[in-house]
Chain A
Amino acid sequence: MNVPKDLKYTKSHEWVRIEGDTATVGITDYAQSELGDIVYVDLPSPGRALIQGDSFGTIESVKTVSDIYSPVKGQIAETNTALEGASELINQDPYGQGWIAKITLDEVPTDLLDPDAYQALLSE
């Protein structure tokens, strides 16, 4: 399972890339593999305020519907509108073209998992 070294992770299988005051968020390779073929992503409107752990969208796969939880506190700056017509991007490229949202940070979170800790979680 692909766990890039330059990202942070959550127990609910989101990844986070923090650049300045912006966090780019998606779901991990493990999450997309567990969900199976993704058919629909419900994305939030930009400007929405989130606290850590808020559900801010849903992902529907052929198996199930899952919430996407915000790993950080902030406001939605942008969502990946390409997913509206091509949700399979999450399956094909979860850490790249399959990103879900960019969130303007209120504060930089300190409790995210590093790649080793996330890898350990997957091995449990």
Chain B
Amino acid sequence: MADFPLIFERSRKGRIGCMPPQCDVPVSDMAELIGNGLVREPAELPEVGELEVVRHFTNLSHRNYGIDTGFYPLGSCTMKYNPRVNEAVASNPSFALTHPLQPVEAVQGNLQVIYDLQSWMAEITGFDTATMQPPAGASGELLCLLLIRAFHRSRGEGHRDIVLVPDSAHGTNPASAARAGYRVQSVKTNSRGGTDIDDLKQHLGPNVAAMMLTNPSTLGLFEDNIIEICQLIHNAGAQVFCDGANMNAMVGVTRPGDHGFDCMHLNLHKTFSTPHGGGGPGCGCIAVKSHLEPYLPVPVVANRDGQYILDDNRPESVGRVHSFYGNFMMNVRAWAYVRSYGKEGLPEIAKHAVLNANYAQARLKEEYPQAFDRTCMHECVLTAKPLKRYGVRALDVSKRLIDYGFHPPTNYFPLIVPEALMIEPTETETKEMIDAFCDAMLEIAEESKEDPSILHNAPHTTPVGRLDEAFAAKTLDVNWSSYEDLKKADVL
């Protein structure tokens, strides 16, 4: 299995997977039809049999590691299990076969899903209204900043051009602010892992437009002073955006809208169980207080006299942030998820996520101390610093975990924690599974003391071992070339 040829390398001249019937109409000349200049040589596609294709891709798929195969404690990413019932609902032809250009009268059910979900999202987060349009979390962040700017401009305060971001923030926050044309200033973290209030006061002034704050923070800690922080920012005439990436730690228990935030985004794929990754499609819906509502993107899904409509007549809107109405099928899955838990069930998500993370933290803290000695929320940020004296780094621990059959936790993030290991068990794992993971982590700490070379050379059990990441980053090449071509080009 270690030597796994590319599908191109399995190709043999003339081999085919199926035999199409003979053409029973006169064949036209391609050059005559479209002109000689547009006719190209046939693409060099692999020539393989059907069974070879099936085996090739089935074997490749066995090399995948996913939530369906094992524990995936990738902190900050919330790799929890998504119930299959969501997929069953989403594959219902009544949803799956609708087209975005159908008249609104013909898609009332779809619009009801969006309408229900935006009102539930507003209620769950403690805001006045929501839009499901942004197609990703970063898009939701950007949209909130655009709404905030429209709000400031409406009050003659368009000169506010600074956005404050904590030094523990995820990189998307400063990136979104820069993309929206704001200058970014960094606010320090205090000794408890929260926002340093004195440093915040130093930064607040007449040019600050907003602060972007993740709560619970990227350190997995609840911002104790959140009410005071929101008041200070409002007193300076600025707005507060809540990065809702970690809402799964609070859903059904406490609401950012009640803490004083003006707007927030949610990643449906984290808290509300829609599929992760693959580059989308996603949904980074946002919820806002009423003073930001006039600026929401068009169209807004509304209910007029029992009919669902798409309202485009909103003169103060910042415009569209996605074609049609975002990625609708994500809404169907989230709708199914919220309905299956209900108001009574949703708080259990947050409570179990927090309990599981604290259990892992308590079991590991002798060998892997907490970055901040506190009860954590849905994830714990530990440090592998004590293993440094044996020449072992967080990366080595992560790689060694692969040999034990676990996906590694997030490492080296947040940036302010040296040798960070960020573990998010999520609410969908059993105690037995978390125990097995913690046992492996503790065993790896012992290995570090006895024979660190085991860690330095890990992983040992995978088709390829420790990759040269620097070489890969510098010489990125994702196009296939035959060995002959590479030899000719003198690359090999």
* Chain A residues packing against B (C-beta within 8 Å): 34, 36-40, 61-64, 87-88
What 10 additional pairs, Cβ within 8 angstroms, besides A39-B470, A62-B470?
A37-B469, A37-B470, A38-B470, A39-B473, A40-B473, A40-B474, A61-B470, A62-B473, A64-B415, A88-B470
| Cα A62 to Cα B469 with chains together (Å) | 6
The answer to whether A64 touches B412 (Cβ under 8 A) is yes
Contact B474 A39 (CB under 8 A): yes
A39 to B470, CA, bound (A): 5
Check A36–B395 contact: CB distance below 8 A: yes
Chain B window 339-355, contacts with chain A (Cβ cutoff 8 Å), 1 for yes, 0 for no: 00000000000000000
List 7 A-B pairs, minimum CB-CB distance, nearest first: A37-B470, A62-B469, A39-B473, A63-B412, A39-B470, A39-B474, A62-B470
- A62 partner residues in chain B, CB cutoff 8 A: 469-470, 473
Closest to A91 in B: B470
**Interface residue? B386 (CB, 8 A):** no
- 8 CB contacts below 8 A, A to B, read A34-B418, A37-B470, A38-B470, A39-B473, A40-B473, A62-B470, A64-B415, A87-B474
A119 to B443 CA separation, bound complex (whole angstroms): 33
| Nearest residue, chain A, Cβ from B470 | A37
What's the least CB distance linking B218 to chain A, in Å?
A: 14
Report the nearest B residue to A38, measured CB to CB: B470
By a CB distance below 8 angstroms, the chain A residues around B470 are 37-39, 61-62, 88
B39-53, CB < 8 A from A: none
Q: Count the B residues whose beta carbon is within 8 Å of the partner chain — how many?
A: 8
Cα distance A88–B470 in the bound complex, in angstroms: 9
Chain B binding site: helix, strand, loop or mixed by DSSP?
Answer: helix
Of B395, B469, B470, B473, most A-chain CB atoms within 10 Å: B470
Neighbouring B residues of A64 by C-beta, 8 Å: 412, 415
Query: Which B residue sits closest to A34, measured CB to CB?
Result: B418
Q: In the complex, what residues of A have CB within 8 A of residue B418's CB?
A: 34
The answer for the CA separation of A39 and B418 in the assembled complex, in Å, is 20
Please report which residues of chain B, range 434-492, place their CB below 8 angstroms from some CB of chain A when the two chains form the complex.
469-470, 473-474
Chain A minimum-CB-distance residue to B474: A39
Residues of A with C-beta under 8 A to B474: 39-40, 87
- A121–B473 CA distance with the chains assembled, in angstroms: 32
Residues from chain B with a CB closer than 8 A to the CB of A36 are 395
| Cα distance, A34 to B418, chains bound together (Å) | 8
Q: Considering residues A40, A63, A87, which has the most beta carbons from chain B within 10 angstroms of its beta carbon?
A: A63
How far is B350's CA from A25's CA once the two chains are assembled, in angstroms?
Answer: 49
Nearest A residue (CB) for B475? A39
The A-contacting residues of B in range 390-420, CB under 8 angstroms, are 395, 412, 415, 418
> For the complex, what is the distance from the CA of A38 to the CA of B415, rounded to whole Å?
16
Assembly CA distance A36 to B469 (angstroms)? 10
Minimum C-beta distance from A35 to chain B (A): 10
Tell me the bound Cα distance from A48 to B9 in angstroms.
52
- Shortest C-beta distance, B397 to chain A (Å), equals 14
Inter-chain CA distance A34–B474, complex, in Å, is 19
Q: How far is the CA of A63 from the CA of B395 in the complex (A)?
A: 10
Cα–Cα, bound, A114→B474 (Å): 35
Closest to B171 in A: A65
A109, B469: Cα distance in complex, Å: 38
B473 proximity list for chain A (CB < 8 A):
39-40, 62
* Chain B contacts for A38, CB-based, 8 A: 470
Task: Please indicate the chain B residues that have their CB under 8 angstroms from the CB of A39 in the complex.
Answer: 470, 473-474
CB distance from B26 to the nearest CB of A (A): 57
Which residues of the other chain, B, contact A34 by a CB distance below 8 angstroms? Answer: 418
For B412, the chain A residues whose CB sits under 8 A away are 63-64
Query: In the complex the two chains form, what is the Cα distance from A62 to B472 in whole Å?
Result: 10
| Residue of B395, B412, B415, B418 contacting most chain A CB atoms (<10 Å) | B412
Q: How far is the CB of B324 from chain A (nearest CB, A)?
A: 35
Residue of A nearest to B415 (CB): A64
CB distance from B287 to the nearest CB of A (A): 31
A88 to B468, CA, bound (A): 12
Q: Closest residue to A62 on the B side, CB-wise?
A: B469
By a CB distance below 8 angstroms, the chain A residues around B469 are: 37, 62
Quote the shortest CB–CB distance from B457 to chain A (angstroms): 17
Tell me the complex Cα distance, A38–B418, Å: 18
Q: How far is the CB of B274 from chain A (nearest CB, A)?
A: 29
Nearest-CB residue, chain B, relative to A33: B393
Cα–Cα, bound, A87→B470 (Å): 10
Report how far A78 CA is from B92 CA in the complex, Å: 65
Which residue of chain A has the shortest Cβ distance to B394 in the bound complex?
A: A63
Interfacial chain B residues near A88, Cβ < 8 Å:
470
Query: What 1/0 mask marks residues of chain B from 421 to 443 whose CB sits below 8 Å from any chain A CB?
Result: 00000000000000000000000
A31 to chain B, nearest CB (A): 12
| Complex Cα spacing A33 to B14, Å | 53
Within 8 A of A (CB), among B322-359: none
A72 CB to nearest B CB, Å:
23
CB B471 to nearest CB in A, in angstroms, measures 9
- In Å, the complex CA distance between A61 and B488 comes to 32
Residues of B within 8 A of A63 (CB): 412
- Which B residues from 242 to 272 make CB contacts under 8 A with A? none
Complex Cα distance, B475 from A88, in Å, reads 13
A120 to chain B, nearest CB (A): 17
